[in-house]
Chain A
Amino acid sequence: SAVISQKPSRDICQRGTSLTIQCQVDSQVTMMFWYRQQPGQSLTLIATANQGSEATYESGFVIDKFPISRPNLTFSTLTVSNMSPEDSSIYLCSALTGELFFGEGSRLTVL
């Protein structure tokens, strides 16, 4: 199993600013992912965070908007850049260790 800590748990931000979400796993994992869950919707994969190389982004998501870091096997960050109200969502970090475990999510509101 894996315990995943995410912070911040929630934030309210002004449009045009950027926010970095941190994700810490209590064990070393090869695969980490970042998902977005908009109100009333299911989870959409943003990118796979690869340790030692650039993240792999899904269609509709780009590195300039959602830069990701993965400096080691237990940690990753997702930055939401130049935010707009459409970025208001829950952002979930996850790690694959047999099954997919999730952090508790970061609820972002952009005004």
Chain B
Amino acid sequence: RKEVEQDPGPFNVPEGATVAFNCTYSNSASQSFFWYRQDCRKEPKLLMSVYSSGNEDGRFTAQLNRASQYISLLIRDSKLSDSATYLCVVKRADTGFQKLVFGTGTRLLVSP
């Protein structure tokens, strides 16, 4: 079992739709959680951190459930420019070193 699991998609949605991505992680020593976005042939870039209380950044809402070891990302009013791969990322330091572990990514395609 992978340490961070995501549905690979692709999710095909029309502009304006709301779409949700889920992610589960297996290591309970995980400390911090993030969503990264990766455009085709580009490096990943931080979209948002995920806080226990849930957090929102414009059209994007992230949620964390530590008990279930589950993270989600909700995108409202999808834009064409949201088409990308969304990577769930978990940071842990159980070995004494900080390490970020990436999920396989969920691909989103927003169409006109």
Could you tell me if A45 and B101 are in contact, using CB atoms closer than 8 angstroms? yes
B86-98 CB contact bits vs A (8 Å, 1 = yes)?
0101000000011
B66 at interface, CB cutoff 8 A: no
Smallest Cβ distance from A82 to chain B, in angstroms?
Answer: 27
Q: Kindly list 4 other residue pairs between chains A and B, CB separation below 8 angstroms, not including A44-B102, A100-B36.
A: A45-B101, A92-B43, A102-B45, A105-B43
Q: Which residues of B contact A (CB under 8 A)?
A: 34, 36, 42-46, 49, 87, 89, 97-105
Closest to B48 in A: A99
* Main secondary structure on A side of the interface with B: strand
Q: Which residues of A contact B (CB under 8 A)?
A: 31, 33, 35, 41-45, 48, 56, 92, 96, 99-100, 102-105
Smallest Cβ distance from A70 to chain B, in angstroms?
Answer: 13
Closest to A30 in B: B98
CB contact under 8 A between A48 and B43, given known A42-B87, A42-B102, A42-B105: no
Smallest Cβ distance from A110 to chain B, in angstroms?
Answer: 19
Closest to B4 in A: A42
Could you tell me if A45 and B100 are in contact, using CB atoms closer than 8 angstroms? yes
Chain A residues within 8 Å of B105, by CB: 42
Chain A residues within 8 Å of B98, by CB: 31, 96
Chain A residues within 8 Å of B104, by CB: 41-42
Could you tell me if A43 and B44 are in contact, using CB atoms closer than 8 angstroms? yes
Closest to B104 in A: A42
Closest to A44 in B: B102
Smallest Cβ distance from B18 to chain A, in angstroms?
Answer: 25
Could you tell me if B99 and A48 are in contact, using CB atoms closer than 8 angstroms? yes
CB contact under 8 A between A100 and B100, given known A42-B87, A43-B87, A105-B43: yes
